Amino acid sequence: MKASLSAQLGPTFVLGKPLTLQQSTCNPGSIECFSPLQLYTSLTNPKQAAGLRLPGQAWPVKGVSGRSWQRRHFEGLNKRLCLSRVEALDNPERTPDISTVFQTVPDLVAYICQGPLLSKVGANQRSVTEGLSSWVDLGVKVCTDLGFDPAALDEAQKSRIFHYYLPTFFWCRAQLEQHRQRHEAPDGASPPPLVIGISAPQGCGKSTIVEELTSLFEYVGSHCAGISLDDFYLTAVDQSRMAEFYEGNKLLQFRGNAGSHDMEFGRQSIETLLKLTERGSTAKVPRYDKSANQGRGDRADPATWPEVKGPLEVILFEGWMLGFRPVPTQQVADVDQQLIPVNAFLEHYAETFDTLVGAWVVIQVADPRWVFKWRLQAEHAMRAKGKTGMTDEQIEDFCARFQPAYKAYLPGLYKDGPPGAKPEATLQIRIDESRNVH
């Protein structure tokens, strides 16, 4: 019989409480005979780690380097619900976790390595095995955030965690490390935050992934703030003026397309966040209230804007049209004549926003018409909770305003990436109609 996943990885931990080891029950040479501190010391010493073995099989981290086992991950193992499926020696009750879904270390490693993003984020079987405690610890963190039962993950939940969110996070964290190295100062001064741009169509779950990436960065000790291109929409008064000036152009009667953002305000807002490098520094993050003015929206009262404290390390900047680049006028006219002024406005977006972005995550869809379905699902869910939402006809009209832009600009974004983006600092993620990565 195979040893359980918990037994293979080492001491059993219950939530918030390390196992009290009973030496008399341990087999000589098995990892269960090490205290948590001894285990950590052994795992950060390659010579000692190479000598550890488990009942029935070899220890899977032979030759592991100390860098792969940072103290915070081990402490997280000691504090959180990680691999505690087996009964603790001093606690007869079982604490469920993902080891009920993945029974052995090879099972979990194999599943992670099946993910379509693994090679894109620079990971492989060896790095996954060496950093497995981080995958598990952060996986449980995602479960906690999203309300998943780690002992009963379905296929969609497993995929979202181990094939989508965690690979994306590890890639973003690697980009942050490279950013720190590029900005390393002789006097030890903190570098400016790294701006990671996240471009994704409406309804595909970009708000959720931004929230999760923010949570994970904070969890590992890197202060992070999220901001959306939507937060820079024109005020209600200016939007009305825009609609009046372009009367008859349905693409500019409502917020959303290029031209409906306050460019100077947006640039200044991000630059303010970039200055949060000192402890004690603070800044307000603007927000837009989409429910104001019977759904036409308006900039939220500054008194309600959340405050961010420095030192800030990461800024997650998301938007449905982030990274779009203008195309020749005739090409735009072939899509929709009303898109011509939108295309002209788009000329200024790359210089204003894209130049601030140091790394990009581009979430791709095969068919932008999926946006209709996703928006319907969101609105129906709101109505089911008793909240006010748009009718199906209103949703159809709302989504139709953005389809010309998708048709004109998505091909270039997917082929060439955002303006000025470096291939090594761009992660392309493809999702299907169910929002699963593939």
Cα angle at 76 between 72 and 79, to 5 degrees? 135
Is 383 a residue whose pLDDT tops 80? no
Report the first-to-last Cα separation within the chain, whole angstroms. Answer: 34
Contacts of 201 (CB under 8 A, 6+ apart): 320, 363, 365, 368, 370, 371, 406
Q: How far apart are CA 68 and CA 131, in angstroms?
A: 6
Pick the closest to residue 342 from 260, 272, 269 (CA basis): 260
Average pLDDT over residues 409-420: 97
Listed range (246-255, 278-287, 330-339, 376-385) with the worst mean pLDDT: 376-385
- Amino acid at position 314, single letter: V
The pair of structure tokens assigned to 389 is: 């939402």
Q: How far is CA 31 from CA 38, 50, 203, in A?
A: 10, 12, 47
Q: How far apart are CA 176 and CA 167, in angstroms?
A: 14
Is 126 a residue whose pLDDT tops 60? yes
Is 71 a residue whose pLDDT tops 50? no
- The pLDDT value given to residue 398: 86
Fold classification of 192-431 is Rossmann fold (3.40.50)
288-289/298-299 β-pairing: antiparallel
Judge whether 238 and 245 are in contact, CB under 8 Å: no
Banded pLDDT at 4 (limits 50, 70, 90): very low
Average pLDDT over residues 249-254: 96
- The pLDDT value given to residue 102: 81
Most confident of 11-20, 70-79, 83-92, 252-261: 252-261
Is 22 a residue whose pLDDT tops 50? no
- The pLDDT value given to residue 48: 37
* Residue position matching structure tokens 């000692």: 48
Secondary structure of the chain as H, E, C letters? CCCCHHHHHCCCEECCEECCCCHHHCCCCCHHHCCHHHHHHHHCCHHHHHHCEECCEECCCCCCCHHHCCHHHHHHHHHCCCCCCCCECCECCCCCCHHHCCCCHHHHHHHHHCCCCCCCCCCCHHHHHHCHHHHHHHHHHHHHHHCCCCCCCCHHHHHHHHHHHHHHHHHHHHHHHHHHHHCCCCCCCCCCCEEEEEECCCCCCHHHHHHHHHHHHHHCCCCEEEEEHHHHECCHHHHHHHHHHCCCCHHHCCCCCCCCECHHHHHHHHHHHHCCCCCCCEEECCCEECCCCCCCCEECCHHHCCEEECCCCEEEEEECCCCCCCCCHHHHHHHCHHHHHHHHHHCCHHHHCHHHCCEEEEEEECCCCHHHHHHHHHHHHHHHCCCCCCCHHHHHHHHHCCHHHHHHHHHHHHHHCCCCCCHHHEEEEEECCCCCEC
Q: How far apart are CA 31 and CA 54, in angstroms?
A: 6
- The pLDDT value given to residue 346: 97
Is 243 a residue whose pLDDT tops 90? yes
Is 2 a residue whose pLDDT tops 80? no
User: For the segment 416-428, what is each residue's pLDDT rounded down to a tens digit?
Assistant: 999 999 999 999 9
Q: How far apart are CA 29 and CA 45, in angstroms?
A: 17
Q: How far apart are CA 205 and CA 403, in angstroms?
A: 18
Other CB atoms within 10 Å distance of the CB of residue 353: 24
Listed range (98-102, 107-111, 119-123) with the worst mean pLDDT: 98-102
Task: Give the residue extent of every domain in the chain.
Answer: 5-162, 192-431
- The pLDDT value given to residue 303: 97
- The pLDDT value given to residue 19: 32
Most confident of 65-69, 84-88, 147-151: 147-151
Average pLDDT over residues 341-354: 96
- Higher-scoring residue by pLDDT: 60, 423: 423
Determine the distance from the C-alpha atom of residue 216 to the mean position of all C-alpha atoms in its chain, rounded to a whole number: 8
The pTM score is 0.80
- The pLDDT value given to residue 97: 62
Banded pLDDT at 104 (limits 50, 70, 90): confident
- The pLDDT value given to residue 21: 32
242: left (phi over 0), alpha (psi -120 to 50) or beta: alpha
- Amino acid at position 312, single letter: L
- The pLDDT value given to residue 279: 93
- Higher-scoring residue by pLDDT: 24, 415: 415
**What does pLDDT average to over the chain?**
82
Q: How far apart are CA 374 and CA 389, in angstroms?
A: 14
- The pLDDT value given to residue 100: 66
